Structure 1
Amino acid sequence: MKKTWLLGLGFFSISLGWALYNGFVPFFLNDYLASTALIGFLMTIDNYIALFLQPYIGNRSDRTNTRYGRRMPYLLIGIPSAALFFALIPFHTSLVTLIIFMVCMNLSMAIFRSPTIALMPDITPHSKRTKANGIINFMGGCGAIIALSIGSLLYDIKAFLPFLAVSVIFLIALWIIFNNINENRDAIPYTVTPTAKIDYKMELNPPTVLLLSAIFFWFIAVQGMEALFTLYAVHALGFSKSASAFSLAFFSLSFVLSSIPSGLLGAKYGKKNIILIGIVGLIFIFILLNWAESVFILRTLLLIGGIFWACININAYPFIVATGGEHSYGTRTGLYYLVSSVAAIISPPTLGLLIDFWGFKMLFFAAAGSMLLALACMIKVKDTETSSVSNQKLDD
């Protein structure tokens, strides 16, 4: 568990960076662009990159064998590069330089994201992975809260301050992980097969396909909401830029507080059951958000929504890993992010286009509809955990 908490620093820095990126980069783009759809499209640059790069790097890290391990080399290259370009974003001088810094930062993030997450199953036994994923996402949620709360305060002082702070945290997190996690010592024994290729026919078995479909639809809902929420709060509700970002922090706050309990519940009652509870809950939350006009009601609903999102997100990754073998953790991590990236590519521009035509209320109606599709897919996923959970209770 100590190693898991330390590894959580990697996810902490990733979530810190993305929360700040999603919260404030749309304002930079809004200085040059009037179309919400176009802003939404540019906010998906990371997902276009991830679409092609992360599955490759995930599989490549499965086949890497160095004295630093199979995942660590990608962290050593990607994190310093991401820190540099993240710090440069607020110093853009035109739309062109802004996009260049965004692309370079996203390329750097794609290099280390899948290997960082794949380290968790590498060093964690199967029975402990939902708890470990809860801890890692707890750390990630802390990063999002810091980005949207303290980051908002720094942004009000100078727009570049939160970006510089995140870059420094990237480097500190890398230093701590590198000095405390030794893959060759801490990883569960594995055999590297350097010539292995991705066998999608084998990896994409029916439970995996249905689960990836559900993941696609719930990321359509949540990533689209997160990418466009600050614009919604400013233009539809009249919030200030910092207040809109701070409101989104309530979603992250409850996600953080619910991360570890959600992992424990998934281990006890089955990951599928807890995911279904989360999906149904978020459907109702998104519908109710359409009528939330006061700050108190809006933030209360976001607070409750974060709990349901934790039920989904904490149990999804261990579920997708459990549908394959130990030699495909990196590949399956890449597939997980491939699907989430496709969803994030489609979601912001599509929801932005709906907003351009019918107004900001369409943001939450579209999110609720996408969650309904996720529910339909998730119900069809064959639950292979029920018997194992029951047997574990008998053994206990």
Structure 2
Amino acid sequence: MKLALLAADFSAPSMADVIISQYVEGSSLNKVIELYNAGTDSADLSEYSLAIFSNGNASPSQSTSLSGTLAAGDALVIGSVANFGGDSAVIDLDYELFHNGNDVIALSRNGEFVDVMGQIGDSANFAKDVTLRRGAGVNTGDADGSDAFSVGAEWVECTSPSKDDFSGLGEHDIDEPCSGGHGGPGAEVLSIMAVQGASHQSPYVGQTVTVQGVVTAVQGSAFYLQDASGDGNLRTSDAILVFGSGHGADVGDELEVTGQVTEYTPGGSGTGNLSTTELTSPQIALLSTGNALPAPLQIGEGFLPPTAVIDSDGLAVFNPETDAIDWFEALEAMRVSVQQPLVIGPTDKYTETWVIPSALAAERNARGGVTIADGDYKPYRIQVDFDDRIYPGETAPVANVGDTLSGLT
């Protein structure tokens, strides 16, 4: 008699393990939850629901059933498209979440908890004003809603501060959770010059980008970031304004900043005012401190604004060589220095002073100012505005027509 040996398959059965992989508890309604299928098979999301237990309550204040399928290794981002402060294209399920830093997030499958973030019944803050990602190698959820929550090895805060950090949403990396995604540490770094572009508006408006540079000035909730060396292209600015409260930046810091590119127009677009290119909702990584500031660009002999034309084409063509409005746009947010500026307008009550470079001294009239005429508005005039947010505790200099300043940066 012969015995036949049958090969048995002892490999693990395919399974779906959906976990909470990213948590955003940001300003206003910037509330987002990312789910990730860490299993080996597609997940039937109709078996899953997401609930929020608010303020220590034992019953959920908000709950939604999911639908569709989630492939193994894929992520699902849940949040409000209308209220999300980042790139809304990353939102997969448009659902408004209302969790705060003391509210428990619970993912259930067929009515049973499979992953709980927080401790049900406890009203203490455990994740306020932060973005957290699941730690490296974590592929199963915490199904116990009664145990205490701590960040520990289970969760990681990839940027500091992490409030309104939207990077990586939709691209969870189970091995390297801070590797990047939609911006943040590890993302592709663009030059500031590329983000500014040779135009009045950035070619990246509405997109989330990552840049690097040195902080040249801090202005309350904003700071100026400039490329350390620049590219020598006088048609593109080397610097950009970064806006975000609690940024913690100091002059001389070298930073990697991820933010959404916006064009801010004072008073709104209907005013006809020019916009300023900004990075908003920034996520900041400190690279080094105490760096020398980029040398200011010298405005004077050999590099002067156009003296006759403000705008020849209604901003249709970007030509800083001939149009003064484009020439100044190409210097937006940069450090500049005016060589021996001549005062053509006295300092007013707003600490604003009008000057021209000494190389244009011949443009002055007999009284030391410049004469404006119809069709000749002297577009080379430079308004100097003393900002006590940049120079706190210092007194604004006062100058009069005919004065010559030793320098201006």
TM superposition score normalised by structure 2: 0.23
The structure with the greater share of residues assigned to helix is 1
Q: Which has the higher strand share?
A: 2
For the pair shown, the structure with the greater C-alpha radius of gyration is: 2
- Normalised TM-score (structure 1): 0.23
